[in-house]
Structure formats: C-alpha cells, structure tokens
Structure 1
Amino acid sequence: MKDYCKLFILSQNKFFKIAIDLVTIIILYVLLLALIVGVMNTLMDIKPVILGTVGGGFSQIVSNVLTIFVLIDLFKTFIDYREHQEIKITYLTDATILIVMREIAAGVYAQRFDYQFVLGLSILLFTLGIVRALAVKYPPKL
C-alpha cells in the first residue's frame, strides 16, 4: 500500500510539473507576441509625431514604451521561473515600479492628477523602492 501511495504522489507531482511547464510556455509565447505587437504599435505611433500631424502623440509613445518595459520585466520573470522554479522579488518590484511610472507619465500628460492620487503613488513608489532595496541587500539563501 505504501508503494502505491508513493507512486501516486510521484505521478501527481510529475503531472503538476508538466502542467506548470506547459502554462509557462504558453504565457511566454503570449508575452513575446505582446512585445512584438507593442513595438510595432509604438513604431506606428512615431510617424505622426515626427510629421507633426498629431499633437498628443508623444504621451502615447511614452506610455507605449513604458508598457513595453513592463512586458519585458514580466517576460524576464517567467523565463527565470521556467529555469529556476522560483520568482525573484526584484523582477516583480521592477515591473510594478514601471507600471506606477507609466501611470504617472500618462497622468502628467493628461493633466488629471489630484493630490490624493499623487500622494498614493508617491507612497506606493517609496514602499516599492524600500522592498526592492531590501530584496537586493538581503537576497534569499539558496
């Protein structure tokens, strides 16, 4: 009976590992496709800005570039998880900091900030900076 239980547990662990590998591979391909589409979209948005036909195109380009950086950080996170079966907190905090910076850039260009929003983002960035610094200073023991 004990041998059957060990075999059952091993087969479940193997199944879960295969399922997780399959999901991460699919997500990596989706992120790669999103990166390619994002770069193409950004390149298409540059043309009206260079020609001077669109006034607010620059804010869209800044937002697109920051979104691409977020996707790159997420891509790095999934590749690292695929290789080492662990998620580094520094990659996640970097991606979150970039998301907040993207929101700040979009809000600055749209001029839609009130003081509560700015205060909230400032506290969030400060907290994320502390978490990032602590994660670098005290990495986990492997």
Structure 2
Amino acid sequence: MKRLVRAQAFGRADILSDLRFHGRKAVDHLAKVYLYPDHTARNHWKEEVLAHFSSVSTLKGTNRFPKLKDIYYNGCEGHLDTLSKTVRVFRKEYGEPTRKCKLQTLQMAVQDYFWWASKELNKSGRLIGSEAYQMMDSVESKYFGDE
C-alpha cells in the first residue's frame, strides 16, 4: 500500500491574517523589551516575540513562502500606527518606561528587527531562536546603546 504525504499549506489570506494577529502581539512585546530594559519580565517578553513571530506556512498550491513585503507589512508595519497608544497602555501597566526615547526611535528599532525577521521567514519559513535573540540585542544596541 502506498501513502501520499502532503505538507500542510494554507491560502494566502489565512497566512496573512495569522501574521496580522500574531504580529500585533510580537510588536507589543518587542516594544516592552526596548522600553523597559531592566524589567524582570524582559526575557519572557523576548520569548513572546519569538513565540508569536517565528514561522510562516507555505502558500497552498505553490509550496513557497509569502512575499517579503506581505510578511513584513502584516507582521509589523500595519501595527506601527497604534504604537503610541500601546505605549500609553504600558505606562499604566508598568509605570514610566525606564528608557526614555522618541516614539520615532522606538518605531525604527521595531521596524529594523521585523525587517530582518521577515527576510529570514521569506527565505526559510522559520527563525532560529538564538539568532533572533541576538538580533533583538543588536538592534537595541544600534538604537539605544548610548542612552
């Protein structure tokens, strides 16, 4: 008896919807990592970024990953316009951020990390945890290292 094994693939709309849903959570957690560098939950927040934005499924019928711009926009760019409101919520939950920075700097740092992550997901469909954590730290040093 022969068995046909097929990989799980999803439609484009389903994949992009999933990226939007998980991207929002990943953006929020990454912003907390950068705004509260001394918080006891910092490592947990880094794990949450990776948990919500570390893999992408192949497209049904093509066996390819979504386009880079689709991964990036739905995972990150579409959420940046609400980041100022999100920071206000963080202030109520965690107090004033221990790192003072302009909203624009925070947005650029988040964009930088997600651009890298989106390129990796577009190539291989999965992020390697150690590389993702290293990139979070690298981006943090780039934008906030001398503050």
Of the two, which has the highest radius of gyration? Answer: 1
Q: Same fold (TM over 0.5)?
A: no
Alignment TM-score, normalising by the size of structure 2: 0.34
Report the structure, 1 or 2, having the larger helix content: 1
